[in-house]
Structure 1
Amino acid sequence: MEIRQLTMEDFENRAALSQFAFQMTWTEEQTAARKSGFKPEQDWGAFDEKGELMSALLLLPLEAWVQGRKLAMGGVAGVATWPEARRQGCVSRLLSHALKTMREQGQSVSMLHPFSFPFYRKFGYELTIERKKYTLDAKHLPPRGEAPGRVVRMTAPDIGVLDGIYSAYASRYNGNLVRTPKWWETRILTQEGSNLAVYYNESDVPEGYFYYKAKERILTVHEMAALTETARRALWSYAANHDSMVDEVALLAPMDDQLPLMLSDPRFKQEIVPYFMSRIVDAEAFAKLYAWEKGAGGESVLLQLEDRHAPWNDGTFRLSWSEEGEGALERLDSGSGRESGRGGEAIVCDIQTLAAMLLGGRKPTWLASVGRLAGSAESLRLLERRIPERTSFLMDFF
């Protein structure tokens, strides 16, 4: 088996594999568009001894917001395998190669949307992003009210204005993408028949936007971002002005959203939807980039990590912090002391659990209570104090 980047000559085979795996049929126009946008350097394939493509994945060079900082992130997408090549280790080899590639490219974290959570957990990914899904009757909309400032329909999208609001909003969460103008053009502002409205405060500063579609008496909110409570109220008042033309409203929200508490009647359909998984690619690099909580200088814990697919993460480390919250992960050995640490002060966990703590908002003490990690109570409490509380959210899909 050979693992290599695709070339333009591989496009037809890659296109056939993708259409088969994801049960799609592209039109001639769609095929031409995908070919013109094909970036073979981002596609990796597993080939048999005859040079036939067996499996492939897309590795996207992206950035994500983590604790208010922009981190280089490897987005894994388009993973596909022909039926006759399944259960031969193709995806395992591709993912292992992708991890090495991401590390070389300085991408300390990776994210993906799984077809199967158990499958990707085997490769070190963990659920870190869930979303709330609301479906409510129009009668449940917040009541219309007066708010300072104004809401203006944006007939021609101004990406500069939208991204200014988005970036300020997205950076409040772990996991949201850092969007480029091209991403806005090709990934976001592509919903036919949709509308944009922007809230400007009394000083004419944009503080929120509402991206939506009203069709067949359903108001579908693609995105809503509000930087202030006033902006939130103004945008919901704008939404309520559609009450004569819609019967139902559908939207996705972060897990810390408190819309039900804001409504007079919170009895509407609310679901929690598991969404994206994340993985720490390079633990030592990630610890340096992560914005830890401030505290006493010189604090540290021992950390014994298990990572079967990224050996550079597997072993015993000392995780230490400065007073200002800068972290460092220093390797102490290659893992030979793993067993001796189980009864001592070291925190023992796998790479998935580390992602659950640092990217998914799960507390170390709770993870210990359910058997996901082990360690002394003192070490767990110290680690917990040093991890800032921040909700995970992702407004995009890839």
Structure 2
Amino acid sequence: MVDQRSNLEIRPVTIEHLEQFNDLLRYVFQVTDQEVSDSGYEEGELERAKRPVLEKSDVIGWFNGDELISQLAIYHCRVNIHGQVFNMGGLTGVGTYPEYAGHGLMHDLVKVGLNKMRENKQWISYLYPYSIPFYRKKGWEIMSDHLTYDIRDSQLPKQRPVNGHVERLDIDDEDVIKTYQRFALKNHGAMIRNELNWDEYWRWENEEERIAGVYYDENEQPTGYVLYWIANEVFHIKEMIYLNQEARIGLWNFIGAHYSMIEHVKGNQYQDEPISFLLEDGDIDQTIKPYFMARIVDVREFLLAYPFETDGQAFHIELTDPLAEWNNGTFGVYWDEQGKVQVTSRPVGERIQCDIQTLTTMLMSYRRPSYLAKIERLQANRQALKNLENIIPMDQPYFSDYF
């Protein structure tokens, strides 16, 4: 293999490589024909469905001659970070055939990918980790959680009066899309979904069996929805979103109206909101797992665009990054006379020391500065920590997509 590496080259993966692209994905992630069938795909349909990935994304691979042996894809996405919309590089489709593993191919491929994101002005990247330690070594860190819950029929909230009503609609109804768009623009971390993002959101679901229950307020405006299906006396919630508490109550009224049909409600939650606290009988089964990871691609540009909560005292970060050399060094942050953030390479103000992983999870508000200092992921004195706590928004990330 050492000798063979000189014969390998990195180049774009294009539509002519569609079959090889899909073969590598299915091999690495062990996707079976049965799983494909259960998701509602007919033979060959999944492969055709992945065609837009190659047409609308940046896909890069290692080739041995004409054979694709290692690859990654970068989706062109947009996300809401504390009210500011950022271009985001969604990293997915990462895989190498086992006979080529252990020789640093993916390390080099990710470096090329980060350079590509930087060219695209994607100052932040998200990914779903199949190995958290693997991606931590490459600069990503956990940014969101996936919670699941199981509520018995006897624990469902009692019906409460609201001014609106729920309608059952197709999952691709215009009001479903519109409601999510409004929600995403109000919730930190969320994907601003385009057509490809919606396709990926439903990729492994049998869409024909899914239903949308949309809540309309007294002005007939959609202000929330629940995406669900019912099977074996279980009301399954894929996702529930709402723009206000009236919509939340109305959606739970709708779920509770299925009381005679179901024994359990099993659902997903993508933000650390305590479902149990909202129930009269909160003794429910809940699980929590890390979900998506993020990494800042270009620290200077990210800091310049980052919506700090308020003007603060000047500080500087002494940063290390295992792959993006442009992120290694000192980043001084201060506010000019107009209150605009400026970034310099000078060590202004108090000193903060950390790696790119820690900086990312802190600025994404998944973990607070004081906690990161407590577990010795962040080095800073008390004054610097107090400043960070004041200027970094509190909102925790919401992210329910998958790619």
Pair in the same fold by TM > 0.5: yes
Describe the shift of the 1:326–1:130 C-alpha distance in structure 2 as closer, same or farther (beyond 3 A): farther
Query: Is the 1:132–1:271 contact (alpha carbons within 8 Å) kept by the matching residues of 2?
Result: yes
For 1:243-392, list aligned pairs within 5 A: 243-295=259-311, 299-321=313-335, 326-332=340-346, 345-392=350-397
> Which position in structure 1 is the counterpart of 2:28?
21
C-alpha contact (below 8 Å) 1:54/1:82 kept by paired residues: yes
Return the offset for 1:376.
Answer: 2.1
Matched residue, 1:2: 9
Pair 1:317–1:32, CA change in 2 (3 A): closer
Q: Which residue of 2 aligns with 1:57?
A: 72
Secondary structure class of the residue paired with 1:53: strand
Q: How far 1:361 moved relative to its partner?
A: 2.8
Tell me the equivalent position of 2:208: 192
Q: CA deviation at 1:210?
A: 1.5
CA distance in 1, matches of 2:366, 2:21: 37
8 Å CA contact 2:365, 2:394 repeated in 1: no
Note the C-alpha offset of 1:325: 6.4
- Does the 8 Å CA contact 1:133/1:271 hold for their aligned counterparts? yes
Change in Cα spacing, 1:81 to 1:70, as seen in structure 2 (3 Å) is: same
User: Aligned pair in 2 of structure 1 residues 206, 247: CA closer, same or farther (>3 Å)?
Assistant: same
Name the TM-score, length of structure 1 as normaliser. 0.90
Q: Is 2:156 aligned against 1:149?
A: no
C-alpha RMSD of the superposition: 2.2
Q: Distance in 1 between matches of 2:366 and 2:167?
A: 36
Structure 2 unmatched runs, 5+? 1-7, 34-41
Closer/same/farther in 2, CA of residues 203 and 221 from structure 1, 3 Å limit: same
Query: Quick check: 2:148–2:266 contact (8 Å CA) kept in 1?
Result: yes
Inter-partner Cα distance in structure 2 for 1:134 and 1:323: 49
Deviations 1:205-234, CA, capped at 9 Å, x for gaps: 221112110111111111211111111111
Q: Structure 1, residues 31-53: CA drift from partner, whole Å, max 9, x if none?
A: 552464351552110123x4432
How far apart are 1:182 and its partner, in Å?
5.1
3-state SS, counterpart of residue 12 of structure 1: helix
Q: Is the 8 A contact 1:155 1:196 kept in 2?
A: yes
Q: 1:25 to 1:70 in 2, by over 3 A?
A: same
- Say if 1:11 and 1:184 are closer, same or farther in 2 by CA, change over 3 A: closer
Cα contact 2:365–2:392 (8 A) shared by 1: no
Paired with 2:227 and 2:149, the residues of 1 have a C-alpha distance of 16
Is the 2:234–2:266 contact (alpha carbons within 8 Å) kept by the matching residues of 1? yes
1:214 correspondence with 2:221: no
* Shift of residue 12, structure 1, vs aligned partner: 2.4
Going from structure 1 to structure 2, the CA distance change for 1:324 and 1:71 (only over 3 Å counts) comes to farther
**TM-score, normalised via structure 2 length:** 0.89
When structure 1 is superposed on structure 2, of 320-329 and 366-375 the one drifting more is 320-329
Taking structure 1 as reference, are residues 207 and 232 closer, same or farther at Cα in structure 2, changes over 3 Å only? Answer: same
More displaced 10-residue stretch of structure 1: 99-108 or 174-183: 174-183
TM-superposed deviation, 1:83 = 0.7
1:144-179, Cα deviation, whole Å (9 max, x unpaired) = 2221122222257432x2233213322343321101
Q: Using the alignment, how far apart are the partners of 1:99 and 1:325 within structure 2?
A: 31
Q: In 2, are the aligned partners of 1:295 and 1:324 still within 8 Å (CA)?
A: no
The answer to whether the 8 Å contact 2:331/2:345 transfers is: yes
Q: Paired residue for 2:402?
A: 397
Structure 1 gap ranges (5+): 334-340
After TM superposition, give the deviation of residue 369 of structure 1 in Å.
1.4
Q: Say if 2:145 is the partner of 1:130.
A: yes
- The amino acid of 1:236's aligned partner reads W
Secondary structure (helix, strand or coil) at the match of 1:170 reads helix
1:311-335, CA deviations, whole angstroms, 9 ceiling, x for partnerless residues?
A: 11110121123588643322238xx
Over 3 Å counting, the alpha-carbon distance change for 1:165 and 1:12 in structure 2 is: closer
Q: Partner of 2:36 in structure 1?
A: none
